[in-house]
Amino acid sequence: MNSKKLISFICALSLTLTLPACGSTENDDTRSRETAAATAQNGSQQLVDGQGQQTTQQSDSSDTAKDKLDEALGLKEQSPALSEDELKEKLEAEAGAAASKWYYDDYDGDGTKEAFGLIGKDENKIIAVYGVDSEGNVTLMRDSFWGTNYNVAFDSLVEYGGKKYFSVDTNCGGSGAVSSVFSFKDGKPFELALSKSEELFGFYADEDGAFTREEGSWAHDRARVDLEYDEAAQDFTIASKPADSGEWKQAYIDYIDNTIAENFSDSSMFFDSSQFAILDIDGDDVPEIFFDSGFGAGGSGLLTYADGEVSELIGGNSSGISYIEAGGIFKYVGGHMDSFTDDIYTISGGKPKLKLSGKYYLPDGAYTGTGDVQDYYEYYINDAQVPRGVYEKKLAAAFDQSSAKWALDGETYTYYDITSAIQGY
C-alpha cells in the first residue's frame, strides 16, 4: 500500500472512533431524556454497577410517581363535585324515601354546592332532615322535632355573612312554632347550637344582623331577639342585653317583700328560718336568687329576672337546687313520702326552660322488705316509665352533677338581710 492510501485509511479510522466520544449534542440530550422516560414508563431504571455491568432497579410505576409528584407540588386534582341529580339520588337512597323539599346551594361559600333534603309524608308531616356534601356523603341531621308538622310557608334559605342557612319551622297544629336551622362549615353539614336547644322561634337576617323572635304565637307580633355571630365557631348565640342594675335589684326586693312575704304571712317559721342565696347560673349580669323556706312543707323557690319582670320557679316539699355556675343549667330536686322529682332546666337571659323531667315513687305495698328499696320504685323520664338504670343514665347525661354545687353551700342570707345583700351586689 502506498503512503497516501495508508494516511487516508488511518484518518478515516480515527474519525470513526473519535466522533461518538466527543461532547454530546442537543440531539444526544434529547435522546437521553427520551430513553429515561421510556425506562421510567417501564417502571425500572438502568444502572451501571462498580464493575461496569448494567443492572436493573425496580421503581414506582409512572402513574404512582406522577401522583406523588403532583401531590407534593399541590397539583393533585380533587374529587369532582357531584351533580345536583347525583346528590339527590344519594340522599334519597340513604333516607329510603323521596325528598319532599330539596335545597341545593353553596351554603358555606367555598364554590361548591351542597344540599339539604326534607323527608316528609302527606302534605306537611315532617320525618327527617338530611344533609349531603358535594362528594355525596349523606348525614342524618334530625329525625326528632319540636312539632310533628312543618310550615311549608316558612321553610326558607336565609343569607347572612356570605353563608346560607336552611330554616324549617315545625308546629303541633297551633300557632306556635320552633325553628330548626342547618348549614355547612368546612364542607360538612351542621345544625346551629340554638336550634339544637330549641331556642329559635324563626330565623331571619336584615341589614342590622341575624335575629329570632320571642317565644309565642305566630298570630301576634313578637319582639325581635338579636343574635351574635361567632366567626371561629361559625355559629350564633343570643345577644346579651345588660339590664339596668337599679331595675332588677328593686324588682327582686319588691317581689320578696310583697309576693313571697304574703305567701308565707301565716308562717313565722319562714321569717325566722328561711335562707336566701344569690346565684349566677346563666352567666349574665343579672343573678338569680334562690330561697329555702326553712321547713319541708314550705318548699323553695328560684327567682329570675327577664324583660323587666321577676318570675318564680317553685319547688315542692323538701326541695333544693344544684347548678353549674355560669353554665346555664341547674337541677331542681324535691321529695316527700316516697315520691321524688329530678327536673333539669336550662336558663338563658333569666328564662328557665325545662330540659328533662324525672320522677320516681314507691307504689303502695310494693316493697317486700328484702333487697334495695330503690329497685321497687317506678321511674319516669318525661312521663314515660323507664327502668331504674335508664333513669339514672339519662339524668347523668343531661346534667353533670360532679361539676355542680348546691345553692345553699355558699354564702346565705336571712329574710331580714337579703335586701341589703341584693343592693350591695
Average pLDDT, integer, range 253-263: 94
Each residue of 327-372: pLDDT tens digit? 999 999 999 889 999 999 999 989 999 999 999 999 998 888 888 9
CA separation for the pair 280, 327 (Å, rounded): 9
Each residue of 217-237: pLDDT tens digit? 776 778 899 999 998 889 999
pLDDT category of residue 243 using cuts at 50, 70 and 90: low
The percentage of the chain sitting over the pLDDT mark of 90, rounded to a whole number, equals: 62
CB 168 within 8 A of CB 157: no
pLDDT category of residue 242 using cuts at 50, 70 and 90: low
pLDDT at 228: 94
Q: How open is the CA angle 178-307-174, to the nearest 5 degrees?
A: 25
For cell 329559635, name the residue: 200
pLDDT at 154: 66
Among the listed ranges 42-56, 145-159, 161-175, 273-287, which one has the minimum average pLDDT value? 42-56
Q: Is the pLDDT of residue 34 over 60?
A: no
Q: How many residues does the chain have?
A: 425
pLDDT category of residue 36 using cuts at 50, 70 and 90: very low
3-state secondary structure string across the chain: CCHHHHHHHHHHHHHHHHHHHCCCCHHHHHHHHHHHHHHHHCCEEEEECCCCCEEEEECCCHHHHHHHHHHHCCCCCCCCCCCHHHHHHHHHHHHCCCCCEEEEECCCCCCCCEEEEEEEECCCEEEEEEEECCCCCEEEEECCCCCCEECCCCCEEEEECCEEEEEEEEECCCCCCEEEEEEEECCEEEECHHHHCCCCCCCEEECCEEEEECCCCCCCCCCEEEEEEECCCCEEEECCCCCCHHHHHHHHHHHHHHHHHHHCCCCHHHHHHCEEEEECCCCCCCCEEEEECCCHHHCEEEEEEECCEEEEEEECCCCEEEEECCCCEEEEEEEECCEEEEEEEEEECCEEEEEEEEEEECCCCCCCCCCCHHHHCEEEECCEEECHHHHHHHHHHHCCHHHCEEHHHCCCECCCCHHHHHHCC
pLDDT at 223: 83
Q: Is the pLDDT of residue 317 over 90?
A: no
pTM over 0.75: no
Q: Is the pLDDT of residue 158 over 50?
A: yes
pLDDT category of residue 398 using cuts at 50, 70 and 90: very high
Average pLDDT, integer, range 104-133: 94
Q: Is the pLDDT of residue 6 over 50?
A: no
Each residue of 70-118: pLDDT tens digit? 555 555 455 677 999 999 999 999 999 999 999 999 999 999 999 999 9
pLDDT category of residue 13 using cuts at 50, 70 and 90: very low
Q: In what order do the strands lie in the sheet with 235-238?
A: 204-206, 209-213, 224-230, 235-238
Among the listed ranges 49-53, 76-80, 214-218, 373-377, which one has the minimum average pLDDT value? 49-53
CB 249 within 8 A of CB 394: no
Q: Is the pLDDT of residue 121 over 50?
A: yes
CA separation for the pair 118, 130 (Å, rounded): 7
pLDDT category of residue 127 using cuts at 50, 70 and 90: very high
Q: Is the pLDDT of residue 38 over 80?
A: no
pLDDT at 75: 52
Average pLDDT, integer, range 154-180: 89
